[in-house]
Structure 1
């Protein structure tokens, strides 16, 4: 997570009034397990995201940057990475 993304991403609950398909994903993480995490809102103090998680199911919810980082500390190589080439994209334009 870069400072640029942290400064750009809306804080938790700031996009509540925006329709789901119009919400903008600001950051994308992907895992070796095939899961993808799309961050729409973020609380930098708690390192907590709200966004779309595409795993066993595709669902909206909260996920923790600390937990994603903890997974990586358990292995000799990163299991979860931030998509370095991802540009902010509306949910409706993700082609899910």
Structure 2
């Protein structure tokens, strides 16, 4: 899977040029066979350094390498994937706070979308296999 389309790359780069803004995440990456979710809000001009919310057991704001993410090889020949249905919808600080309170990005996603749809179940499905299990 291509982790970044040209359109997503352009949006992330544009956000990366505006550091003082609380951006809405542009893309969600996930490990299809285990732990690991990343919400990317910015991409540096180097085309590699992403900024956003990462959760590999503990959600925190920070930076990571797109190249390293693309190089990950998982069991069954899989790699890190992009949630093609992810829309972001909330600023990265809202995601970070919800993930800290809920304990993970996946739990925060269920809570945030349930709240935004009036308290019921999330009104959209994601490609994230963990969300399909619940």
Which of 1 and 2 has greater Rg? Answer: 2
* Secondary structure at 1:84 match in 2: coil
TM-score (ref. length: structure 2): 0.57
Structure 2 segments unaligned to the other structure (5+ residues): 99-106, 109-134
Structure 1 segments unaligned to the other structure (5+ residues): none
* Secondary structure at 2:29 match in 1: strand
Note closer, same or farther for the CA distance 1:83–1:38 as it changes in structure 2 (3 Å cut): same
Equivalences for residues 4-83 of structure 1 within 5 A: 4-9=7-12, 10-12=14-16, 14-18=18-22, 23-31=23-31, 32-72=33-73, 77-83=77-83
Kindly indicate whether the alpha-carbon contact (under 8 Å) linking 1:38 and 1:51 is maintained by their aligned counterparts in 2.
Answer: yes
Q: Hey, what's the Cα distance between the residues in 1 that align with 2:7 and 2:72?
A: 24
Higher relative contact order (CA 8 A, sep 6+): 1
Greater fraction helix: 2
Q: Hey, what's the Cα distance between the residues in 1 that align with 2:27 and 2:83?
A: 8
Deviation at 1:44, TM superposition (A): 5.0
What RMSD over aligned residues (CA atoms) do the two structures have, in Å?
2.4
Greater fraction strand: 1
Aligned residues: 91
Note closer, same or farther for the CA distance 1:83–1:17 as it changes in structure 2 (3 Å cut): closer
